[in-house]
Structure formats: structure tokens, C-alpha cells
Amino acid sequence: MQIAIFASGSGSNAAALMQYFAGHARVRVGLVVCNNPGAGVIAHAEANMIPVELVNKAGYADADYVLGVLAKYKIDLIVLAGFLKLIPEWLIDAYPGRILNIHPALLPKFGGKGMYGMHIHEAVRASGVTETGLTIHLVNSEYDKGAPLFQVKCSVYESDTASDIAARVLKMEHRFYPKVVEAYATMQH
Ligand code: GRF
């Protein structure tokens, strides 16, 4: 199984995936697709010797172009890791059941448009919930609405800032995302 990681930002989850699958017998990270030339994920890809395709706004709007890039690298599975653009219908149709995302909250709570980055953890903090966590889910054409595959919880303490919550969840993301991707990828075919 050849994976493409789509990422827009610092890429710590992408790095965790690259390290986990380095030398893996059945699953390989073959490509990073990035829409932001200043993203930290690019350095992680270089350090792990994974090719990067930078796709700008016009490129991302061009189905033939994007599908051509994915075909060139023989991509079987797309793993979103902090990718901030909506996945278009044509990409979902081309990869049915083969696009995964991670969201740093217990969906359906704290999901949807505008719920990204620290906005999520600030909303968790403000809501007074005592638990948060992460959700790994299949992707459909609405933000954070695809079928959930996996969730894990952690506590929210009264003394927590939004940054404390973010750090606790991110640590769990790095631990669980590679394992869930591995389980899902090796179930395919
Ligand atoms: C993670 O919290 C992930 O759940 C969300 O975006 C963040 C990406 O962080 N979708 P990083 O770029 O992997 O460090």
C-alpha cells in the first residue's frame, strides 16, 4: 500500500507516520502533498527522503492534475494530517473509502468548518467538558462528517489551558494515528 500524506502545516503527525512506516513490509509513505510552500512538513519529508508535491490553488482545483500526480506515485490511500483544504467530490470518488483524517476532538463534538487548530481546544476549554480526545475518520465531502473509525479519550482538567489540552491530544495523535492507518491499510485489497 502506497500512502500519500496531505498536510498544510507543521507536520508533526506526518513525521510520526513517516517514521512509523520507514522500512514497513506492506505500507509505504510514497508522497507528501502540500498546499503551503512555508509548511514545516516539507522539512520532515526531506529528512525522511519522501518526495513532496507542492500543489497551489489552481493545481488543487484541477482534478486531472491532482489525480495525475497521485497516479504517478501509485497512491492507494490518502492520509490527511493537518490538511486545511476541503477534499473535493472528484477526489472522494477516485478514492472511495480510501481517505482518512485525524481530528483532535471527539467528533461530532467540536468539528465542522472553523474548527481547526487551537480553535478546537479553546472551544473545548470554554465548554467545560471534562473529556476530550481524538477521532480518526473516513473523509466525505463535508468537514469532519465521514464515518468514524477510531476514537480515544483523555481528561480535561480544570487547571488546563487550551495549549495544555492541545499538547495532550497531539501526543496521543502521534501514538495512535500510525497504528490506525496501518490497521486500515493492511485490511485493504
Ligand atoms: C493535528 O492536531 C490534527 O489532528 C489536525 O491538525 C493538526 C495537525 O498538526 N487535523 P501537525 O501538522 O500534524 O503537527
pLDDT in tens, 110-128: 998 889 999 999 999 999 9
68 alpha carbon – ligand 1 mean position (Å): 26
Q: Which atom of ligand 1 is nearest to the CA of 7?
A: 12
Low-confidence ranges of the chain (pLDDT < 70): 189
The chain-wide mean pLDDT, for the chain, equals 96
Q: Which atom of ligand 1 is nearest to the CA of 103?
A: 4
Burial zone of 13 (CB within 10 Å; 0-12 exposed, 13-18 middle, 19+ buried) = buried
Q: Which of 63, 84, 78 is nearest to 138 (CA)?
A: 78
Q: Is 103 a catalytic residue?
A: yes
Which pLDDT value is given to residue 189? 63
- Give the residues surrounding ligand 1 with Cβ less than 6 Å away: 7, 9-14, 81-82, 102-104, 170, 173
Burial zone of 132 (CB within 10 Å; 0-12 exposed, 13-18 middle, 19+ buried) = buried
Which pLDDT value is given to residue 39? 98
Which pLDDT value is given to residue 135? 97
Residues 6+ apart with CB under 8 A from 161: 125
Which pLDDT value is given to residue 113? 84
Which pLDDT value is given to residue 9? 96
